[in-house]
Structure 1
């Protein structure tokens, strides 16, 4: 395994991305503390993103609006505009690629690049050129923090540390040369190490590991044992500066979830929204050429989370998945005969198989019916693609208040244009 002797990776993270895009596009919001919320007109929701001005008051992402207003009475609430953020993402990547090729967009607000020989010798100038391209061609309200290191994982950690350097937030720069390591890494809290979540932190503490330096001092096999798989050993090599390449990840599921507006928190309203979300998930399933063998429906209620699942006969058409969803809502009505207040609803198609590997259920013998429904779903998809919108659907199409069905702020993937039809 190769251990680079110089920096080879750049990791870039846009600062307060969603709020910054709002400020760049609406001059009335510039310089003001703003919080991006799922929908307008109510305090019974959560701030899902906030500007640096709001963060200075102690407002944080995923904070209840009422608490955020207590910390920052002048907080301006802005309903989310997911399609705007998607278009801003594409525009920003286009500008960055005029300076350096992008190796991978890790999320809508993070990306990584490989460095050539010239950039390795002058990372400060490279960071300056990237920031100048964004400032002059997009605007000054969208800034980014950049980390340089021997591998992607260390560059990501450096980027996060640079974001909060010198007592300020954003527009940072951190360069971790291999010859200076591992001292900069030891200053990083254990919580900020990618792969150390809350549960893993507890497990490490039980093993006597409470600092990053103590984690660094473990042996690779010991970390593998603590994690229970090869992820721990791979993290050891990453922290020690080895060139660890991310393992290709296969598609595991297609799903959508949504926080419900106050007037849509009944069983009938949540059921209708789940139907639209599942239709969107099935469209994505077909676009990426998969079949699904199972469906989850999950609900967040005042008393906790309800989860139901059902098997599917390896399908991809709207009729089959919507029929299965109807059965799951029947379970909900049995579980809550008097009704229940639902705050969030989600649907997930899982147990995926590529279209080329589909295996039919010989006992079910419904392939002819399935093919007919698949042809209908394909015809619907083609019509919607022609008009870049949902003009045809299986059942009534009435998106809920507060934005797009299936197209929302995403921290784990970059939405496509089709998500907003």
Structure 2
């Protein structure tokens, strides 16, 4: 039997389940989580009771009411979900080797030694499920996948929901997943799917049997070859990814669309993006602002010297905001900020006239780091850079 190297925990209907755990009156009832509390908003998550009516992520609120007249809506509470995510991570780490927290509701566990046998891996998966129910919450269910690598473990975790437990290995491939569509597989985007169709690869079995060297040509990248070899069960390590940028965007509720209010939401997005950029050790050399307005889309950007100073980035934002507003009088439907052309702080050149030491933060950037520490410690925006608006239903990316 092929040794198992990875176990993937995928929490089921996570946001809705957390709300049902927090409020017993919601248990067993159709619940949808919303980012914007009006008819034009959409559901960002749904309980399995709601999914039974056809409600899913992206379903409009008015449509959800038509599908399920008795549905209960709750506003998203990102901080609550993060706290539960961290608690689950601690519980898993007590009984297994937690390798990565992949997202707000996905966790990757490394297997080895005794746990690399299928029987022991299955026992460990059951132990993790029981520990989450006992120590985090009885309403929190998970689907767990086991495989000889990360890709197969993740695919296995998607096969049975809710509360599933499945494994994939060369011993049961590709028959175990032949019912899936190509784009059901993680890593197969619509663009890659189109390229596969162009190469007359229409189903999972044909993909599995594809020559890895041919896959490299289809993908126009070594990632195609790596994908096929991983699909066949080889222990292919995940390649470290290089950041292209940090961005946040927000579709605004009607009350935040007037320009004077939308501007404050944009300031919040800049603060959050720059904070995440500092956390990961990067500086940005390009700032971009995009607005979708009632009279059309507008955008502006500027190249800058490598920086991670929030105050400086906010001053850039204000200047670009004024430039755009001079060309438009419309309300703001959505706003997006992006920090691009990244360079690691450790690789940033010095500047004798700035003054700026090579690979070291300057004084404003050191102050920003102190503010980050304070805000993380106290869990609130104890220190902020002037006036901003924390938008409801905001979810960080990356």
Question: What is the aligned partner in structure 2 of residue 246 from structure 1?
Answer: 238
Name 1:409's counterpart in structure 2: 395
Q: Please give the secondary structure, in 2, of the residue aligned with 1:347.
A: strand
Partners of 2:213 and 2:225 within 8 A in 1: yes
2:75 maps to 1:79: yes
1:395 corresponds in structure 2 to 386
The answer (yes or no) to whether the contact 1:6–1:150 under 8 Å persists in 2 is yes
Preserved CA contact (<8 Å) 2:266 2:337: yes
Q: Which has the higher contact order (CA 8 A, sep 6+)?
A: 1
Aligned match of 1:5: 2
How do 1:157-168 residues align onto structure 2 when only pairs under 5 Å count?
157-163=155-161
Unmatched segments (≥5 aa) in structure 1: 164-169, 414-421
2:26 alignment partner, one of 5, 26, 29? 29
Question: Deviation digits for residues 263-289 of structure 1, max 9, x if unmatched?
Answer: 111333222211122122223333443
Partner secondary structure for residue 333 of structure 2: strand
CA contact (8 A) 1:220 1:236 kept: yes
Q: Is the 8 A contact 1:7 1:178 kept in 2?
A: no
1:162 partner SS: coil
Q: Distance in 2 between matches of 1:384 and 1:89?
A: 19
Question: Structure 1 residues 30, 317: closer, same or farther in 2, change over 3 A?
Answer: same
Q: Which residue of 1 aligns with 2:43?
A: 47
Instruction: State the distance in 2 between where 1:139 and 1:251 align.
Output: 35
Alignment of 1:58-73 (within 5 A): 58-73=54-69
Are residue 356 (structure 1) and residue 339 (structure 2) matched?
Answer: no
Inter-CA distance 289–124: structure 2 relative to 1 (3 Å threshold)? closer
Count of matched residue pairs: 392
Q: Greater CA deviation, 291-300 or 8-17?
A: 291-300
- Following superposition, the deviation at residue 374 of structure 1 comes to 3.6
C-alpha distance 97-59 of structure 1, shift in aligned 2 (>3 A): same
Residues 149 and 178, structure 1, Cα contact 8 Å, conserved in 2:
no
Residue aligning to 2:308:
316
4+ long deviations beyond 6 Å: none
Question: What is the Cα deviation at residue 327 of structure 1?
Answer: 2.7
**Aligned with 2:98: secondary structure?**
coil
1:346 corresponds to: 336
CA contact (8 A) 2:36 2:42 kept: no
1:276-287 equivalent positions in 2, closer than 5 A? 276-287=268-279
Distance in 2, matches of 1:71 and 1:262, equals 25
SS state at 1:202 partner = helix
Match in the other structure for 1:179: 171
Structure-2 change in CA distance of 1:263 and 1:290 (3 Å): same
Question: Are 1:151 and 2:142 an aligned pair?
Answer: no
Normalising by the residue count of structure 1, what TM-score does the alignment of the two structures yield? 0.85
Q: Say what the alpha-carbon RMSD is for the aligned residues.
A: 2.4
Do the aligned residues in 1 keep the contact of 2:148 with 2:235 (CA within 8 Å)? yes
Map of 2:100 onto structure 1: 104
Structure 1 position 394, deviation (Å): 3.1
Alignment partners' CA distance in 2, 1:176 and 1:326: 52
CA offsets 1:386-410 (integer angstroms, 9 cap, x no match): 755434433224434x26xxxx335
**d(CA) in 2 for partners of 1:10 and 1:252?**
29
1:38 match: 35
